[in-house]
Amino acid sequence: MKKYLSFFRLRFAMGLQYRAAALAGVATQFAWGFMEIMIFRAFYRADPASFPMSFSATVSYLWLQQAFLALFAAWMMENEIFDSIVDGNIAYELCRPVDLYNMWFSRSIATRLSRAVLRCFPILIVAAFLPKPYGITPPASPGHFLLFLVTMILGLLMTVSLCELIYILAFFTISPAGLRLMFDSAADFFAGALIPLPFFPEKMRQVMELLPFASMQNVPLRIYGGSMTGYEMQKAVFLQVFWLAAITFTGKVLCLLAQRRVTVQGG
């Protein structure tokens, strides 16, 4: 365990060095967040009673989405890992006396956390002081806030597990470009990154909520705004735990299979 904590600390410290990139990201996310809020505001003004979430809950969802983008964005994968698989440098990783899956997992969590730490506080602070109804509102209750923190951790682990699965599947492809494109598109759509899941038609939403992508950002952000009932929250947490265990187990099995079949420069 100590070696994986060392990987985590090194990668986390390295990620904190990119402060200029974080400031650029904050500016971009402010612009994107305001644009999304203005679009939703136009629709809410037309017929506010027809929407499944209150406007304040939707605004909080969007600001939290921007603040914690680095935690849940599936497309924020490590190019370094893909490059090592394609060019054969993965051989150096395989020589280390560590579990490849656990090493990548700890590195990925550290990378996402370091990016989120640099970006989330400026966004949350500014969003909290924006005038109503354009600013983030407090959580629905203290209980909702505690469950939001728990589900956010589970959502982060779920996101990393899915990305780990894509890294490992890259062993079985000539180029990971197509695999990444399909995964990024599916994750953004089914996780509620483009449109919150409650805005989809009822039958479609019910199916989407059962998929592993919904266990990423959809669950914690909706819990914060209070747009889920008690039963829905229990079901969502159960699905998060179930999919996390299933995806992690699948990733570990495929990782072992990939390491047995990998060929580096014909050796």
* Confidence (pLDDT) at 254: 93
Query: What are the tens digits of pLDDT across the range 177-216?
Result: 889 999 999 999 999 988 999 999 999 999 999 999 999 9
Closest C-alpha among 38, 20, 75 to residue 213: 75
* Confidence (pLDDT) at 117: 92
* Confidence (pLDDT) at 15: 86
Query: Taking the model in full, what pTM does it have?
Result: 0.92
H runs (alpha helix) in the chain: 2-15, 19-46, 55-67, 69-72, 79-87, 90-94, 100-129, 142-169, 177-190, 202-208, 218-225, 230-261
Query: What are the tens digits of pLDDT across the range 87-130?
Result: 878 888 878 788 899 999 999 999 999 999 999 999 999 999 99
Task: Count CB-CB contacts under 10 A for residue 24.
Answer: 11
Under the banding of pLDDT at 50, 70 and 90, the label for residue 267 is very low
Q: Please check whether residue 266 lies inside any domain of the structure.
A: no
* Confidence (pLDDT) at 91: 80
Query: What are the tens digits of pLDDT across the range 228-251?
Result: 888 899 999 999 999 999 999 999
- pLDDT higher than 60, residue 262: yes
H runs (alpha helix) in 170-216: 177-190, 202-208
Q: Where in the sequence is the domain holding 123, given as residue range(s)?
A: 2-261
Q: Please check whether residue 13 lies inside any domain of the structure.
A: yes
Average pLDDT of span 136-149: 92
**DSSP track, 45-66:** HH-GGG-SS-HHHHHHHHHHHH
Report the distance separating Cα 41 and Cα 224, nearest Å.
20
111 phi/psi in degrees, rounded to 5:
-65, -45
Q: Please check whether residue 267 lies inside any domain of the structure.
A: no
Task: Count CB-CB contacts under 10 A for residue 139.
Answer: 18
Q: How many CA atoms lie within 13 A of 266 on its CB side?
A: 0
Q: Please check whether residue 203 lies inside any domain of the structure.
A: yes
What total of structural domains would you count in the chain? Answer: 1
Distances (CA, A) of 152 to 7, 36, 50, 236: 22, 22, 28, 12
Residues 248, 250, 170, 213: is their CA dihedral positive or negative? Answer: negative
Under the banding of pLDDT at 50, 70 and 90, the label for residue 165 is very high
- pLDDT higher than 90, residue 175: no
Q: What residue type is assigned to position 92 of the chain?
A: Y
Q: Please check whether residue 38 lies inside any domain of the structure.
A: yes
Q: Please check whether residue 226 lies inside any domain of the structure.
A: yes
Report the distance separating Cα 118 and Cα 20, nearest Å.
10
Look at residue 204 and give its three-state secondary structure. helix
Helices 2-15 and 100-129 meet at what angle, rounded to 10?
Answer: 40
The lowest-confidence range among 13-22, 106-115, 223-232, 255-264 is 255-264
